[in-house]
Amino acid sequence: AQSVTQPDIHITVSEGASLELRCNYSYGATPYLFWYVQSPGQGLQLLLKYFSGDTLVQGIKGFEAEFKRSQSSFNLRKPSVHWSDAAEYFCAVGSTGGGNKLTFGTGTQLKVEL
Amino acid sequence: NAGVTQTPKFRVLKTGQSMTLLCAQDMNHEYMYWYRQDPGMGLRLIHYSVGEGTTAKGEVPDGYNVSRLKKQNFLLGLESAAPSQTSVYFCASLGQGNTEAFFGQGTRLTVV
């Protein structure tokens, strides 16, 4: 069964500092991988996705993520965090059959200090 | 461009009451999903559908039923609500051959 682990429950960074959120996945084949962001009381917004090709993917709001098959990881990065980036971030893995279901990690809550 | 619309947005139920959450999508998507979100647990799949007239169980289906009588609608029912079903519920849809699912804005349900 597919699964996603986000080892960091909370992360605090200073505005302007770099950010890396960790994500490890378990999936039997080449995975579809996603990062979503959720602001308080809001729905989910897709930041970026990977399903093939270049292992470094660019997303919205200046985020990027790198797929590393050897480490089963898909870490999210941003070179300079803005206060408006404070939110909860979810990594997800999608199946390519059996209903194309998304399995989510437990999320990482990002706090940005001014 | 409504996308995925969930009704209602908020609801308070008493233990034992029943209710139905409606998810409607206008993108002609084949796949639809119901998730629940709880603090520290991410989103967990309750039920899903791969097409009109079909439904299947997800990770946490107990206490819920679903129906997909029309392609554009996916209903989630609680026959006898329990406090453990207090959660935020999200619906999503996905088109055949697509990789990006679209999510509704969520329904915040409190069972007292």
- The model's pLDDT over A2-40, given as tens digits with 9 standing for 90+, comes to 899 999 999 999 999 999 999 999 987 778 999 999 998
Q: What is the pLDDT of residue B76?
A: 98
- Please give the average per-residue pLDDT across B71-95, as a whole number: 97
Q: What is the pLDDT of residue B1?
A: 59
Q: Are B34 and B47 in contact (CB under 8 A)?
A: yes
Q: In the structure, what pLDDT confidence band is assigned to residue A61 with cuts at 50, 70 and 90?
A: very high
- Shortest distance between the Cα of B44 and any Cα of chain A, in A, equals 7
**Cα dihedral sign, B46-A60-A105-B81:** negative
Indicate the SS3 state at residue A107. Answer: coil
Between the ranges A34-38, A91-95, B92-96, where is the mean pLDDT highest?
A: A34-38
Contact A90 B43 (CB under 8 A): yes
Dump pLDDT digits (tens) for B16-75.
999 999 999 999 999 999 999 999 999 999 999 999 999 999 999 999 999 999 999 999
| Residue numbers in A near B105 (CB within 8 A) | 42-43
| Residue numbers in A near B35 (CB within 8 A) | 104
- Shortest distance between the Cα of A15 and any Cα of chain B, in A, equals 25
In this complex, how many residue pairs, one in chain A and one in chain B, have their CB atoms less than 8 Å apart? 49
- Please give the average per-residue pLDDT across B75-83, as a whole number: 97
Q: In the structure, what pLDDT confidence band is assigned to residue A80 with cuts at 50, 70 and 90?
A: very high
> Cα A76 to chain center, whole Å?
5
What are the distances in angstroms from CA A4 to CA A85, A90, A114, B74?
Answer: 22, 10, 31, 26
Closest CA in chain B for residue A50? B99
Contact B48 A94 (CB under 8 A): no
| Residue numbers in A near B43 (CB within 8 A) | 44, 90, 102, 104
